[in-house]
Structure 1
Amino acid sequence: MDIAGTRRFPAWLLASWGLTRLALLLFVFKVFVFPGPDVTGDVSVIYQGWYETLRTGTFPLDDVTWQYPPAAALAILSPALLPFLDYASAFFVLAFLADLAVFCLLQYTGLRPGRTLRGAWVWVVGVALLGPTVYARYDVMVTAVAVAALLAGARHPRVTGALIGFGALLKVWPVLLLVGAARRRVWASATVTVVAVASLFALAMPGAFAFLTFQRERGTEVESLGSLVFHVARHFGWNGQVLLNYGSVEFLGPYVGAVSTAALFLTAVAFGWLLLWRLRAKRFLAHTLADAAFTAVLMFTATSRVISPQYMVWLVGLAAVCLCFRGSRMTVPGGLVLAACFVTVLEFPVWFSHVVGSDWMGITLLFARNGLLMAAALTAALELWRGTVLPPVPTVPGQATRTRESLASS
């Protein structure tokens, strides 16, 4: 709210962030027990195991669950910055600080002239809805880099490019932020960063790119869009299995390969649409970079062979950046993502046993969550096309005045 040229301090926003984040910390530190399976095991077992290997100067080459680009090692090694804490506790604190960094960036941006605090509220609500999983994965750290890159925007194109390049070496998906980048300096800076950082890792640590092989061999994860085929098919005699495979719970058995191929085909279609959009786009406004990034990541997430709960953190962060801009057309897709976050915490971890068991509760939750994501992706694509490709609706002089007068007389 503007008062005499200034804006009130957003006390409710800050209080909401503080209370919800205190709850998340109490859950990951197990002061209170969150319903469902323990989400912190990835940190205390898997991440810490990788940490011990990475400390020796090599990547975990014999571990097929290592499916991340080389800079991910920095996130896994980051708890060494807090040597007075055990590994898991240090990781949770650093995840909390990454969350705080995103919140501060969104709040600062929202208080600037011509911006809005809607984005900060989306981040506060979205992360709270996802529950303690957010602090038990390193995705919140990657999201912080992506948010900083988008908010740097047109004012600092080289910084934007460098952050996008570094983010892509943390977890690949931030490369999609380049889709809406109109300036060559952004692309050039991203390319230089990727080449420089990747070269350093390739020279310093063996196996920097082994993740490419492991990622290629993944199957259809039980929470993905394609998995719905097998969840339903299990009720009609499909004789496949649900097993822990390549670090996630996946379907194995007849026709899984075909469904995985279909998912890759849908991803290729999404890529083709994005390429067509980029060739046809005529207007690149202040919010276009964020809107295009949000749309691209939505499309690739919805069609992926794997839709893990932590992927939702990416979407919440990008939706929050979009809604910092008053002119963004992503209000409805952002709302659909928030609704999907609520369903996500129900399917994992609260009722994950129902998902793995393919009972009707689990299937209903997955249909709802994945349906919301598909609706968000299609809506975002439509709004992006309307806002950048189609000609703007012409404003007839005096039309607004006549409309107000007719409303006043009615």
Structure 2
Amino acid sequence: MARSQQGATSCSPQRGTRTGRDHVKTTGGTWRSLVWLPATWAATRLSLLLFVFKVYVFPGPDVTSDVSVIYQGWYDVLRTGTFPLDDVTWQYPPAAALPVLSPGLLPFLEYAQAFFVLAFVADLAALSLLLYAGRRPGRTLRGAWVWVAGVPLLGPTVYARYDVMVTAVAVAALLAAGRHPRTAGALAGFGAMLKVWPVLLLVAARRRGPWVAAGATAVAVAALFAIAMPGAFAFLTFQRDRGTEVESLGSLVFHVARHHGWDGEVLLNYGSVEFLGPYVNVVSAGALCLTGVAFGWLLLWRLTATRFRAHTAADAAFVAVLMFTTTSRVISPQYLVWLVGLAAVCLCFRGSRMGLPAALVLLACFVTVLEFPIWFADVVQSTPRGIALLFVRNGLLVLASVLGARALWRSTVPEPEPAPFPAQAARADETPVSS
């Protein structure tokens, strides 16, 4: 008995020592990440700023022209108190006026320069939120690393579109969902008035509070713009009339068909490079049907899911946006920054099942910068290289969607209990007879 107690006593310090070492190791790893994360972010973002400010020239077409020409043109119209009613390229909800007008906050800079600086600030805000969330109990800094690594993979396009600003709002909404659901709902509603897709952040909301907050915020913002500025909802007509963009999943049909006698053409249409010609409306309708199937699957999942954990809201939002992006008639390069932001939030949670889909999205980002802007001419001309890049990029998005949906279903929907064999059922029904 004494020997047993002595053995137990001698083992205790060893266990304590190992635990202490593990604690020191974990803490040291965390502090190293807190040093390397900002350093890596600063280095990569400096390179993006050097490209958008044209200190160095990024290969391919100039991605900053959208800001210096299109956005600045909208800015001049919006300043007069009306939306660009005669410009079919304006295809955004009314609150999109805010990021377009935001460079006015920095009057000492030219419009494009101010916009790039504000995009940089939004990027920094998203990183700060992910760093704060990653240091809380049960969280990890993997999400911050996803954001640090994923954004520069898309090249300077990220700072030349306002999507990074919308993504920062979405990151804030998802990180608030656990402890402040109404705040998360309000942020999602505001994000939906910036670019529609953030409404999908609420797909896993189980209570009415977030939906009410989102609806109230969206209605208030929409009403404010409708009263103050004419043409707040002209974007609905412009979006309806869009075709099949050359980078979308459906466009692969026409990229291949061009080598087999299809007599359509590629033109700049409704603000993007699209296919026009025979059967384009059929493929566009097919894309809408795929989006409908994705919506049906999400509805089925929502009705059958019963196991909700801290990371479920982020996982579901990531899968929902991934599915709707992949099936869309338009997959612009900047859309992938949405996915990077949502994947980063997922991986802030140790229990998230979205590790592999997130990795596939990062690979898709790298292929995306190759197809736009570096070899965009090959995509437009449907060369073998352009077609191969689109097959790989869109294939990665399809695979990420399928794997993400599968992981979400398995982690939240209980498996049905197997039916008993007839013999077992018969034995279970037998009533014992007392003697």
Q: TM-score, normalised by structure 2?
A: 0.89
Q: 1:11 aligns with which of 13, 16, 35?
A: 35
The answer to whether the aligner puts 1:119 opposite 2:119 as a matched pair is no
What residue is the counterpart of 1:399 in the other structure? none
Secondary structure, aligned partner of 2:363: helix
Q: 2:59 aligns with which of 35, 38, 44?
A: 35
For residue 112 of structure 1, report the CA deviation from its aligned partner.
1.3
Find the aligned partners of 2:42 and 2:416 in 1 and give their Cα distance: 41
What residue is the counterpart of 2:426 in the other structure? none
For residue 173 of structure 1, report the CA deviation from its aligned partner.
0.3
What residue is the counterpart of 1:396 in the other structure? none
The answer to whether the aligner puts 1:297 opposite 2:318 as a matched pair is no
1:370-402 residue CA offsets vs partner (Å, 9 max, x unmatched): 000000001000000000003499xxxxxxxxx
What residue is the counterpart of 1:266 in the other structure? 290
How many pairs are equivalent? 393
In the alignment, is the contact (CA less than 8 A) between 2:358 and 2:400 conserved in 1? Answer: yes
The answer to whether the aligner puts 1:204 opposite 2:261 as a matched pair is no
In the alignment, is the contact (CA less than 8 A) between 2:226 and 2:232 conserved in 1? Answer: yes
Find the aligned partners of 2:320 and 2:110 in 1 and give their Cα distance: 38
What residue is the counterpart of 2:8 in the other structure? none
Secondary structure, aligned partner of 1:181: coil
What residue is the counterpart of 1:103 in the other structure? 127
In the alignment, is the contact (CA less than 8 A) between 1:66 and 1:211 conserved in 2? Answer: yes
The answer to whether the aligner puts 1:166 opposite 2:190 as a matched pair is yes
What residue is the counterpart of 1:251 in the other structure? 275
What residue is the counterpart of 1:283 in the other structure? 307
What residue is the counterpart of 1:132 in the other structure? 156
- Between 49-58 and 153-162, report the one with greater CA deviation: 153-162
Give matches, 1:13-92, under 5 Å. 13-92=37-116
What residue is the counterpart of 2:17 in the other structure? none
In the alignment, is the contact (CA less than 8 A) between 2:155 and 2:369 conserved in 1? Answer: yes
For residue 3 of structure 1, report the CA deviation from its aligned partner.
2.8
Find the aligned partners of 2:366 and 2:307 in 1 and give their Cα distance: 34
1:186-221 residue CA offsets vs partner (Å, 9 max, x unmatched): 111001101111111111100100000000000000
For residue 283 of structure 1, report the CA deviation from its aligned partner.
1.1
Secondary structure, aligned partner of 1:249: strand
For residue 182 of structure 1, report the CA deviation from its aligned partner.
1.5
- Between 299-308 and 111-120, report the one with greater CA deviation: 111-120
What residue is the counterpart of 2:346 in the other structure? 322
Q: 1:334 aligns with which of 355, 358, 370?
A: 358
What residue is the counterpart of 1:216 in the other structure? 240
Identity value in percent: 76
For residue 284 of structure 1, report the CA deviation from its aligned partner.
1.2
What residue is the counterpart of 1:402 in the other structure? none
What residue is the counterpart of 1:403 in the other structure? none
The answer to whether the aligner puts 1:237 opposite 2:261 as a matched pair is yes
Secondary structure, aligned partner of 2:174: helix
Find the aligned partners of 2:416 and 2:312 in 1 and give their Cα distance: 15
The 3 A distance-change label for structure 1 pair 272 and 392 is: closer
Find the aligned partners of 2:175 and 2:144 in 1 and give their Cα distance: 13
In the alignment, is the contact (CA less than 8 A) between 1:2 and 1:8 conserved in 2? Answer: no
Secondary structure, aligned partner of 1:242: strand
The AA in structure 1 aligned to 2:65 is: G
Find the aligned partners of 1:5 and 1:296 in 2 and give their Cα distance: 33
Find the aligned partners of 2:303 and 2:138 in 1 and give their Cα distance: 29
What residue is the counterpart of 2:376 in the other structure? 352
1:311-330 residue CA offsets vs partner (Å, 9 max, x unmatched): 00000000000000000000
- Between 281-290 and 361-370, report the one with greater CA deviation: 281-290
Consecutive unaligned residues of structure 1, counting only runs of 5 or more, are 394-410
Rg bigger for which structure? 2
The AA in structure 1 aligned to 2:333 is: P
Please report the RMSD computed on the Cα atoms of aligned residues, expressed in angstroms: 1.3
1:211-246 residue CA offsets vs partner (Å, 9 max, x unmatched): 000000000000000000000000001000000000
Secondary structure, aligned partner of 2:154: helix
Secondary structure, aligned partner of 1:57: coil
For residue 4 of structure 1, report the CA deviation from its aligned partner.
8.3
Q: TM-score, normalised by structure 1?
A: 0.94
In the alignment, is the contact (CA less than 8 A) between 2:307 and 2:414 conserved in 1? Answer: no
In the alignment, is the contact (CA less than 8 A) between 1:182 and 1:284 conserved in 2? Answer: no
For residue 2 of structure 1, report the CA deviation from its aligned partner.
4.7
The AA in structure 2 aligned to 1:152 is: A
Consecutive unaligned residues of structure 2, counting only runs of 5 or more, are 1-21, 418-435
The AA in structure 1 aligned to 2:109 is: L
For residue 183 of structure 1, report the CA deviation from its aligned partner.
2.3
What residue is the counterpart of 2:200 in the other structure? 176
